[in-house]
């Protein structure tokens, strides 16, 4: 067997594999001999079928199968030994009808080669690393939410600005008849709020659905209609007030602190606010890290310049998926996935350059920590090691889940590299201002 390679250019090559009779003949002969021992052909006892008949019936199929096996094994071995960094899989060049009666065969494969490039993390323009803090306004709002959640309802005669109003939305034409509890701050306009202020149980208030809520999901819940039904809905509905209550805030006392965090963990309002700040900022770190990861990824893809064997990859995509694509579909798919492919190559360079390795123990530890955090959310604070190991084993038995965890660990390790080596500038701001700056939300 002989394998040669011709480099078309820096990103494309053609590999030629020549297979001679001595490469496959012994294997083919052995398989046919084994067939002869077990062949069940009418008119002949088992094991006594003439070899000529076996070769005539099975010879070509066995030959084709063995040559293809040889071909794949030889090609894979060659790529490994030559340390060729290929993209996609080798593509066999189309051949006219192969003469399987010949003793020698030649096959050619197109290769798409990974480009040579360098990754520069420390760019001229600094990337913002956000430090999100829980400001006094947020902490005070969270304290009030806790007080409302654990407070008690006090009946009222008339609606006030902070009342909780239970009533029924109705509209005969649309067959709306839905009982809800609402608060006035959810409505879009002040005019709606004014209609409610001073109203009593039994009063009926007529409202227009258009512009009633800023979010259609709120209207879906209020009227118990589907998304399609509320989209563009412009009708009048009646709201009959059944009950008016005011939520009396819970006292910030030891009983509430123990209920929230366990006995003796928090002993004062100051400690409560410190705990809220600490817990909130832990969550903010995750959001800030994800933002940094996204921004560095975007920077690397935009600023790490290299060419790809686009024509080869487009051709490879036609047959690489579960469903074959035509040339136009493959071109469209390549254009959609090019950015992702570029980052995969960049990521591979960074992993190699920074000697990032992941062991099975790393994956197990990550799974255990993830499971422990999830259990804590449901009040299970001290699961046993055996319990964690058993659940982790079940999770990791799913290959997709194990791969997802592995990818999470790689992202964490790369994030550490970015924080250490990238050109970053730190910006401290409140969560509200972070959302405004990053997402443009109000």
Would you state the torsion angle of the CA atoms of residues 381, 384, 386, 390, taken in this order, to the nearest 10 degrees? -10
Lowest average pLDDT, out of 27-41, 145-159, 348-362, goes to 27-41
- What pLDDT sits at residue 442? 46
pLDDT-derived band of residue 45, with 50, 70 and 90 as boundaries?
confident
pLDDT value, residue 221: 93
pLDDT for the residue 269: 95
Q: Where in the chain is the domain with CATH 3.30.70.1050?
A: 2-113
- Top-confidence range, 209-223, 286-300, 370-384: 286-300
How far apart CA 140 and CA 134 sit, in angstroms, is 10
When pLDDT is cut at 50, 70 and 90, the band that residue 386 belongs to is very high
Beta strands in 51-174 (DSSP E): 86-92, 105-113, 127-133, 152-155, 163-171
Question: Which residues share a beta bridge with 428?
Answer: 131
* Residue range(s) in the chain whose domain bears CATH number 3.10.50.30: 152-248
Token pair 């070769």 is found at: 55
CB 16 within 8 A of CB 3: yes
Q: What is the pTM of this model?
A: 0.73
Residue 7, CA distances (Å) to 21, 112, 277, 359 in order = 28, 10, 61, 37
Q: Residue 275 pLDDT more than 90? A: yes
Give the pLDDT band of residue 441 (cuts 50, 70, 90). Answer: low
Residue 123 has pLDDT above 90, yes or no: no
Considering the domain 152-248, what is its CATH architecture? Answer: Roll (3.10)
Q: Provide, rounded to the nearest whole percent, the portion of the chain with pLDDT above 70.
A: 99
Q: Which of 282, 421, 288, 290 is nearest to 350 (CA)?
A: 421
Q: Encode pLDDT of 167-203 as tens digits.
A: 999 999 999 999 999 999 999 888 999 999 999 999 9
pLDDT in tens, 218-264: 999 999 999 889 888 999 999 999 999 998 999 999 999 998 888 89
Q: Tell which CATH classification among 3.40.50.1820, 1.20.1090.10, 3.40.50.1240, 3.30.70.1050 matches the domain 2-113.
A: 3.30.70.1050
Quote the pLDDT of residue 53: 84
């Amino acid at each position: 067997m002989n394998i040669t390679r011709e480099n078309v250019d820096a990103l494309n090559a053609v590999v030629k594999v020549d297979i001679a009779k001595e490469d496959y003949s012994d294997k083919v002969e052995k398989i046919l001999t084994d067939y002869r021992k077990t062949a069940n052909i009418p008119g002949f006892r088992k094991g006594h079928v003439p070899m000529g008949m076996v070769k005539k019936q099975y010879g070509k199929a066995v030959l084709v199968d063995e040559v293809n096996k040889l071909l794949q094994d030889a090609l894979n071995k060659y790529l490994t030994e030559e340390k060729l960094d290929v993209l996609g899989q080798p593509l066999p060049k189309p051949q006219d009808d192969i003469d399987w009666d010949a003793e020698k065969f030649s096959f050619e494969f197109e290769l798409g080669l990974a480009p040579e490039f360098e990754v520069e993390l420390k760019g001229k323009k600094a990337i913002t690393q956000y430090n999100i803090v829980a400001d006094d306004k947020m902490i005070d709002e969270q304290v009030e939410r806790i007080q409302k959640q654990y407070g008690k309802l006090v009946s009222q005669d008339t609606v006030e600005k902070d009342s909780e109003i239970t009533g029924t939305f109705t509209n005969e034409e649309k067959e709306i008849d839905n009982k809800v509890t609402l608060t006035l701050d959810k409505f879009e306009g002040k005019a709606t709020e004014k209609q409610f202020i001073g109203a009593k149980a039994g009063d009926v208030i007529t409202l227009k659905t258009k512009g009633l809520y800023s979010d259609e999901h709120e209207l879906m819940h209020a009227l118990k209609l589907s998304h399609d039904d509320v989209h563009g809905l412009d009708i009048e509905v009646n709201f009959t007030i059944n009950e008016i209550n005011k939520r009396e805030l819970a006292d910030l006392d030891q009983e509430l602190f123990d209920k929230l965090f366990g006995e003796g963990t928090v002993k004062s309002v100051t400690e409560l606010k410190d705990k809220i700040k600490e817990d909130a900022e832990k969550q903010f770190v995750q959001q800030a890290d994800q933002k940094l990861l996204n921004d560095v990824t975007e920077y690397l893809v935009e600023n790490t310049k290299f060419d790809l064997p686009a024509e080869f990859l487009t051709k490879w995509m036609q047959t690489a998926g579960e469903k074959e694509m035509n040339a136009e579909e493959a071109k469209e798919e390549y254009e959609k996935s090019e950015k992702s492919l570029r980052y995969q190559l960049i990521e591979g360079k960074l992993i190699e350059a920074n000697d990032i390795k992941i062991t099975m123990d790393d994956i197990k530890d990550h799974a255990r920590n993830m499971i422990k955090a999830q259990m804590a959310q449901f009040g299970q604070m001290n699961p046993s090691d055996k319990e964690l190991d058993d659940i982790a084993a079940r999770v990791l038995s799913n290959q997709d889940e194990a791969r997802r965890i592995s990818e999470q660990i790689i992202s964490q390790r790369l994030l550490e590299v970015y924080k250490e080596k990238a050109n970053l500038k730190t910006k401290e701001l409140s969560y509200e201002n972070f959302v405004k700056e990053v997402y443009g939300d109000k």
